[in-house]
Structure 1
């Protein structure tokens, strides 16, 4: 055996990630002592200090059972008023809030009162297990879903409350509580099971010696199958060879009363042979009655509850489709129902399967009931089909009479064949055969000698009519079959096309909102249902990211909450809060719910199995797209976080250098003045003070740049516009930078009659200061620095050209990025890389832009601030 198989077997015994453990006390019938044994085990756990709570225990008035309840903490029951009755049920929410280590839940197969969260008590147990709470529970063997038919055959009683077999298969421990039938009957007569009146009725109806013996055998078989499975797993844990994989079991079902019996039998066989199994239905395209569709849907739902896979195929040849699918899935056993064939002239399904099976094992499950005719759908459109057949035959007869003088007699038959073909294409086989029969009679009556009579004189005319009838029947059958295949192909193509269209829409969606919007647009193509997509906000409240939030009643909201928490369908047509009008399907990815798909049929009827599979199929690419959008969002957040950390590091590194340099110079000058005082010549003392002032101004500019960049990034920079002369802004900037520009030859080119600017003067001045300072830092001493100021219609320009090292064309867009710096020819040392970025932000806030060109004499760079010119204000009279 492989290491993987051994690892799986070892992992099967490990605790399931916080999931509770389930112990089932299994009995053959009521009264064998299951509850008594469960309470004895609970008392032993209590003496060991285990925190436990009795959720619900049905003592049925038995004194010895009630005595064992003493000392056990009990969870108060919930009370329901239903049709004048006061019902008591398990308080699931109370148990979940108390969170004991162990909970006692009697009668696993019990049906909860209407209004409960779950329809069945075993679903309450599953929720307790998911919450990490261990559960002790009891169940009788007649409540197992796969044994329902056998129990009915044994006892004559149809058990309505059932438990899916997979629940017991997944149980951590099953304890068989056995009592010989003779002792159980004695307990029943003594009133230890039911009150005397009920005991006499139970003995007569259910608790006979034969019934109890048969039920006891079923209970032992069930426990023995579990022992076999445990033994098989133990062998695999030790690394020894386990039984080889035997493939898969397929069971073919149709819409008849035998379908559920077949499914239950398949479940039992699959459990005994340790096989995965599938319930397979072949849709041939033939119309089915409402009864047949309901029976098929019930069988498919039963297969899902029993742990099987439901498969729907569309084909015309049932036997060939079953065999082909069995080969594709590498199945080893095919199970089908078998009844006497009504058509002796046609080979039955079983015979065709046996002929083409090869090495595949074919199992036929017979029926002891008479095979009834499958009711056909009798609807108005079928009556119209037969009217069409009659009309086509009459039209063909009239047309043939019209052309009989022109065409030969053999050619006239082609007119009737065309009518039969038309009916077959437009309807189905039987209307086509009806048209063929009518055409046969019309052909004989109108054209075969003697005319206007059904008698035939010549033998060759008999052959002609027989060949005509044969060709008409074959043509009609072929056309009808092609029509059914075409309809099935269209349905399949429609489903495939919808999946492809949804995938195409989702591929173009880049974020969660776009994914949900694309899905809402796709689902809007289903007019017979109301569809919504819900998500959770930060506070845990439901919201509709795409579309309108539907009004949800309290029960609908509870079903949605449960589906979200447990990642399982809930609501209409399920076992969890089924009385609502919405069916909720969670869309999950990476072990967490991403969205909730809600479907509400307008007719209020539960969705069929085929509809639920379609929406589940549509939900898979939607869940994947949501997971992809979530991953993209997480990656973007991580990228932004990384860039933020990088910017923070760059800012700290740059600021620590550029702030420390002026502070160091200022501190040195001040220390010199304090240490030497009057001994420093006045000229040197003045130079030290001026240097301190210049470094303080430089420090002030750095801090101002940082503050301006912060305000620009957070939208806190307010524009206080006013009319100002551009020459005044230039003069103020030059005055502020007089020491910085002193080593350069500054040239001014200011045009005359410049318009006024409607700007925040301080911001534009700061932008111009940043550009001038940048040009001064990169220009060598004694270089030219030309400042131009001109305007034309709609735009005013500040141009600053230098003779520095220049900026390559590929880097001109980068110089406006935050913290981007260059050192070519920088006389002033490395800067913060914020000046030009702030300049661009300030000019852009006024609706302007910044451009970069070539500098003076083919050297350096030219920065130009482009500002819009507004209509000039009227001049005031002096």
Structure 2
């Protein structure tokens, strides 16, 4: 045995994280003491201090059972009215609100009252287990779905309340409660199971000695199979060889009345042999009536409930397709049903399916189950409505062929006349089905005989060779019609398959082009809108638990439909119409889930009412997989974009804090030092020094004011709060005012101005343009060497006026000239080199941009430094009288 197999066995035996443990008290029939044993075990747990609660227990008036309930905490039942009857059910939400460690739930196969969240009580138990709550429960063997038909054969009673076998197989512990049939019958007669009147009826109908013995054997077989499976797992945990799962069981079904019986039998065989199993239906393109289609869908749904895999294949031969699929899946056993075929069916398909499988399936075990036990009811099935239009096509085609043959009889030899009638049969077969094709063949046979075989207009045949010709013609017409019909049916099946494949490819193509969540949902809605018989709605759930329709039909959900949507979202399982969870609404909810949980909820509502067909549900589920992947991809892209923006924000925040903390602290430190000196020394400081300290304090305060003003201006620019109060102003006045404001800053430099004599007026916000020029001048002064040149020039173009500020500083590298206008950017060697908040030129760019201007960077004076040029558009000049 490999280490991987041993590890799998050990992992299978470990309790699943966050999930409760299930203990099942299994019995052969009511009255054997399952509920009593469960309550007895609960009393023992209570004495050990376990927090437990009675969810629901049916005592049926038995005194000893009611006595065992004494002292056990109980959850009050949930009562509801249905058709004038008061029903009580387990309060699932009440238990989940204050979850205990252990809950007692009687009668696991019970059907819940109409309007409950789940159709079956075993589904309530699954939700309790998912919530981490341990459950004690009871069940009788006749309620197992796989044994349903076998119990009916034994007792003659069809048990309606069933549960899937996998529920029992996933139980952590099964305890068989056994009671010999003789003792059970004595309990019935003594009134310890039912009241006396019910007891006599039960003994006559169900609780016979033979029935109880057979049910007891089924219960023991079920428990023995579980013990055998546990023993095999124990062997594997120890690394020893044990019977392992080998091969696979394939069950081939059609839409006959025995399909469900075959599914149950296959489930039992697979369980006994420890084989995975699949239910396979081969679609050969034949037409089925509604009843056969309903039988097929019911059998497929039963297989899904019992834990089997449902596979739909398409091919020209059922046997060939089954054997080929068995080879691909490495199956070891093929199981099919065998029924008596009518002569017409045998003539059409030749040997039966079982015979063909035996001849083709070399190395495979082929098991055939006789399903003719219910032949009489099968004859009562509804027949497919006759398509009279197709049958009218047969005489019409025969008439046209006869007319054409009469017209060509003079120039065409008699043997060739039959080809005209064969062509008519082919046309009818291709356009309709086998029945009209055979009718056309028969009519063509009569027309050929009456019109072209001597003696004419008589069914009498004089020549012996003409008899062979007619019989050969009839045989060829029938075979040709049958072949053409089968080819047409196969073509229809291929078109259906191609349609499904095309739908998947088309949706995948649309989803590939979708870049965000809304695009993905729009692509999905567009794809599903091609199905006019359904309504589609895609929902998302907000953080406060409210549903929002993101795409598709905008419909108000009823309370039950909202509850089904909530359950499907929370448990990542389908719910609503056609399921076992809250099936009373109009919508079928399918969660589109990723690795982290549901991403959206797909709702499907048939416009004609009724549940969706099984094949359509599987196609929608198949389309849902790439849709969920696309939603997850879009969610990942949004998360990455959010992370990128967060990183940029943090980078911007760090730059702001670094710049502000340094540049605001510098003037504050200088101001504080000057003030401390004045306060400490006072009159001891000479007047000239005191004046210098005060002027320095004023200069640092102005510098601080400029920094704060830059921050405020940048904030207003970013939020669109900067208003332009335009007016006509002289450019020379702007230059003079800016130089005056920066007189102390520019004092160590040689400032040159180049102003033309005549300059046009600018229609601008004078204060903003002045501030922009101040920022550029201050930036140039900061990096200019002492006694360096700084030149301010004005130039007039055809459509713009330019302010140029040139310095002899270190300059700005070409690759950084586009970046210096970004907020908080400081060049390593240029005019922004490590000083300032990094906002001055960004504000300058914003102020010029608000006026429709721009800022450019060029070379400085004498091949050194840099030149920053402010470009402002010129407007038509005002008239002299307006001035």
TM-score interval, smaller chain: over 0.9
Deviations 1:281-334 (A, max 9, x none): 111111111111111111111111111111111222111111111111111111
Report what 1:632 is aligned to: 637
Q: 1:349 aligns with which of 345, 349, 353?
A: 353
Report what 2:822 is aligned to: 817
SS of alignment partner, residue 450 of structure 2: helix
Distance 1:875 1:176 in 2: 112
Aligned CA distance change for structure 1 residues 5 and 755 (closer, same or farther; 3 Å): farther
Report what 2:127 is aligned to: 127
Q: CA deviation at 1:411?
A: 3.5
Distance 2:426 2:17 in 1: 64
Q: Are the aligned partners of 1:392 and 1:423 in contact in 2 as well (CA < 8 Å)?
A: yes
Report what 1:300 is aligned to: 300
Distance 1:690 1:627 in 2: 64
Q: CA deviation at 1:105?
A: 0.9
- 1:387-786 to structure 2, matched below 5 A, reads 387-670=392-675, 686-713=691-718, 715=719, 717-725=721-729, 727=731, 728-742=733-747, 743-749=749-755, 752=758, 754-759=760-765, 761-780=766-785, 782-786=788-792
Q: Are the aligned partners of 2:813 and 2:830 in contact in 1 as well (CA < 8 Å)?
A: no
Distance 2:880 2:305 in 1: 89
Distance 1:394 1:605 in 2: 45
Report what 1:287 is aligned to: 287
Instruction: Give the stretch that moved more between structures: 335-344 or 586-595.
Output: 335-344
Distance 1:720 1:848 in 2: 14
Aligned CA distance change for structure 1 residues 687 and 253 (closer, same or farther; 3 Å): same
Q: CA deviation at 1:694?
A: 3.0
Aligned CA distance change for structure 1 residues 495 and 813 (closer, same or farther; 3 Å): farther
| 2:378 maps to 1:383 | no
Q: Are the aligned partners of 1:315 and 1:321 in contact in 2 as well (CA < 8 Å)?
A: yes
SS of alignment partner, residue 628 of structure 1: helix
SS of alignment partner, residue 310 of structure 1: strand
Distance 1:295 1:687 in 2: 104
Deviations 1:737-771 (A, max 9, x none): 33334414333446845344354x44443333333
Q: Are the aligned partners of 1:803 and 1:860 in contact in 2 as well (CA < 8 Å)?
A: yes
Aligned CA distance change for structure 1 residues 799 and 423 (closer, same or farther; 3 Å): farther
Q: Are the aligned partners of 1:89 and 1:113 in contact in 2 as well (CA < 8 Å)?
A: yes
TM-score (norm 1): 0.94
| 2:78 maps to 1:78 | yes
Aligned CA distance change for structure 1 residues 829 and 51 (closer, same or farther; 3 Å): closer
Report what 1:263 is aligned to: 263
Distance 1:860 1:466 in 2: 110
Report what 2:190 is aligned to: 190
Q: May I ask how many residue pairs the two structures share in their alignment?
A: 874
Distance 1:213 1:863 in 2: 105
Distance 1:877 1:498 in 2: 73
Aligned CA distance change for structure 1 residues 17 and 796 (closer, same or farther; 3 Å): farther
Aligned CA distance change for structure 1 residues 175 and 745 (closer, same or farther; 3 Å): same
Q: Are the aligned partners of 1:568 and 1:586 in contact in 2 as well (CA < 8 Å)?
A: yes
Q: Are the aligned partners of 2:288 and 2:384 in contact in 1 as well (CA < 8 Å)?
A: no
SS of alignment partner, residue 821 of structure 1: coil
Q: Are the aligned partners of 1:823 and 1:830 in contact in 2 as well (CA < 8 Å)?
A: no
Q: Are the aligned partners of 1:40 and 1:68 in contact in 2 as well (CA < 8 Å)?
A: yes
Q: Are the aligned partners of 2:141 and 2:215 in contact in 1 as well (CA < 8 Å)?
A: yes
Report what 1:181 is aligned to: 181
Deviations 1:504-541 (A, max 9, x none): 22222222222222222222212111110011112110
Q: Are the aligned partners of 1:564 and 1:586 in contact in 2 as well (CA < 8 Å)?
A: yes
Q: Are the aligned partners of 1:339 and 1:367 in contact in 2 as well (CA < 8 Å)?
A: yes
Q: CA deviation at 1:223?
A: 0.7
TM-score (norm 2): 0.93
SS of alignment partner, residue 111 of structure 2: coil
Deviations 1:591-636 (A, max 9, x none): 4111111111011110111111111111111111111122222222
Aligned CA distance change for structure 1 residues 817 and 184 (closer, same or farther; 3 Å): same
Deviations 1:692-724 (A, max 9, x none): 4333333332333333334444x2634253325
Q: Are the aligned partners of 1:534 and 1:595 in contact in 2 as well (CA < 8 Å)?
A: yes
SS of alignment partner, residue 159 of structure 2: coil
Aligned CA distance change for structure 1 residues 265 and 548 (closer, same or farther; 3 Å): closer
Q: CA deviation at 1:56?
A: 1.0
Aligned CA distance change for structure 1 residues 326 and 738 (closer, same or farther; 3 Å): farther
Deviations 1:196-231 (A, max 9, x none): 000000000000011001000100111111111111
Aligned CA distance change for structure 1 residues 730 and 552 (closer, same or farther; 3 Å): farther
Instruction: Give the stretch that moved more between structures: 108-117 or 179-188.
Output: 108-117
Distance 1:377 1:799 in 2: 96
Q: CA deviation at 1:377?
A: 5.3
Q: Are the aligned partners of 1:560 and 1:584 in contact in 2 as well (CA < 8 Å)?
A: yes
Q: Are the aligned partners of 2:764 and 2:851 in contact in 1 as well (CA < 8 Å)?
A: no
- Consecutive unaligned residues of structure 2, counting only runs of 5 or more, are none
Q: CA deviation at 1:590?
A: 1.2
Q: Are the aligned partners of 1:754 and 1:791 in contact in 2 as well (CA < 8 Å)?
A: no
Report what 2:23 is aligned to: 23
- 1:33-432 to structure 2, matched below 5 A, reads 33-343=33-343, 344=346, 346-369=350-373, 371=375, 372=378, 378-379=384-385, 382-432=387-437
Report what 2:12 is aligned to: 12
SS of alignment partner, residue 373 of structure 2: coil
Distance 1:829 1:84 in 2: 85
SS of alignment partner, residue 555 of structure 2: coil
- 1:799-878 to structure 2, matched below 5 A, reads 799-802=804-807, 804-826=809-831, 829-853=834-858, 860-867=865-872
Distance 1:870 1:467 in 2: 102
Aligned CA distance change for structure 1 residues 829 and 663 (closer, same or farther; 3 Å): farther
Aligned CA distance change for structure 1 residues 131 and 370 (closer, same or farther; 3 Å): closer
Q: CA deviation at 1:683?
A: 5.3
Q: Are the aligned partners of 2:826 and 2:832 in contact in 1 as well (CA < 8 Å)?
A: no
Deviations 1:33-74 (A, max 9, x none): 001001111111111111111111100111111111111111
Q: Are the aligned partners of 1:779 and 1:827 in contact in 2 as well (CA < 8 Å)?
A: no
Q: Are the aligned partners of 2:807 and 2:866 in contact in 1 as well (CA < 8 Å)?
A: yes
Distance 2:40 2:136 in 1: 11
SS of alignment partner, residue 281 of structure 1: strand
Q: Are the aligned partners of 2:790 and 2:805 in contact in 1 as well (CA < 8 Å)?
A: no
Q: Are the aligned partners of 2:338 and 2:372 in contact in 1 as well (CA < 8 Å)?
A: no
Distance 1:762 1:403 in 2: 105
Q: CA deviation at 1:817?
A: 2.5
Q: Are the aligned partners of 1:288 and 1:377 in contact in 2 as well (CA < 8 Å)?
A: no
Q: CA deviation at 1:686?
A: 4.4
Aligned CA distance change for structure 1 residues 186 and 485 (closer, same or farther; 3 Å): same
Q: CA deviation at 1:194?
A: 0.3
Aligned CA distance change for structure 1 residues 73 and 370 (closer, same or farther; 3 Å): closer
Q: Are the aligned partners of 1:786 and 1:802 in contact in 2 as well (CA < 8 Å)?
A: no
